Amino acid sequence: MSVTIELHGGLGNQMFQYAAGYALAKHHGVGLTLDLRRFGEYKLRSYLLNRFPLDTHTTLEGAEAPALVHKIKRRLGFLNKETGAVYNEPHYHFNDNFFTLAPDVVLKGYFQSWKYFETVADDVRRQFTNVPAKDLPADRVKVSLHVRRGDYVTDKNAQKVHGVDLERYYKQAVETMQMLYGMDITFVLFSDDPAFIKEKFSHLQNIIVAEGDPEAPEQDIALMSACDHHILANSTFSWWGAWLNPSKTKTVIAPRQWFARAALIKDNALDLYPAGWMLL
């Protein structure tokens, strides 16, 4: 018997899904199965959690089957014969009844709240932080700053959900960090568009542009978590970079408007933010 979690989306999404499934499996004392079948059908995303030393009781399902086979099986109904009841996440905020779900449940959703894995937070950090980070200057306060562009700029469907104008937010966030920690702090800039972010923040006194490897996003998350403080984009990628920093004295600034306005009305994102994070 095991809890099954359906994985999909980018690395940040997969980390949330895994953490929620892991917490429920630990609660029931059962194993955890990762269902990878959606990656066979949607080629723009791939399974990325194999970059981390996940606990060995975790198993994989459907990792090798080609997309065409999945589509045929789904149409014939074979992939719908799950071993346990299917739980489709009904809303974006935390479900207080989550831990009453059966130990053979199949979880489908995003589960983007720290509350799902609060009870196993140390275990989750252990599994997601065993990735070496590049060295950063030790003589200055370092603030990670993440700007996500990519599909947020080019994909109309992504724009409907995440298309938020954060121009004012970044200005206020930078000024807040400078007020708290001085003008000589170093901003470590992260983006899927390094040239854009380098020009955008060229006025800052001390910057380091993280020239990340698109094929190794876990390294950027590790580097983010090695910074002292954090300015997030409306992205789960930088959420994890900040959360994995174990410091009790870190300052984390996040955009209050995580979704585009129409999507925000539908999905309450308040459970996304841990206590103590500053919203602007």
Per-residue pLDDT of the chain (280 residues), as tens digits, is: 899 999 999 999 999 999 999 999 999 999 999 999 888 776 678 899 999 989 866 777 665 444 444 443 444 343 444 456 999 998 888 999 999 999 999 999 999 999 999 999 999 999 999 777 777 888 889 999 999 765 444 445 544 454 456 889 999 999 999 999 999 999 999 998 888 888 889 999 899 999 878 888 999 999 999 999 999 999 999 999 999 999 999 999 999 888 766 666 566 788 999 999 999 9
pTM of the complete model: 0.87
Domain 142-279 carries which CATH code? 3.40.50
The beta strand positions in the chain, using DSSP E, are 2-6, 31-35, 58-61, 86-88, 106-108, 142-147, 186-191, 207-209, 229-231, 252-254, 278-279
Angle among Cα 126, 135, 213 to the nearest 5 degrees reads 80
The full set of domain ranges for the chain reads 2-128, 142-279
Rounded to whole angstroms, the Cα distance separating 113 from 8 reads 16
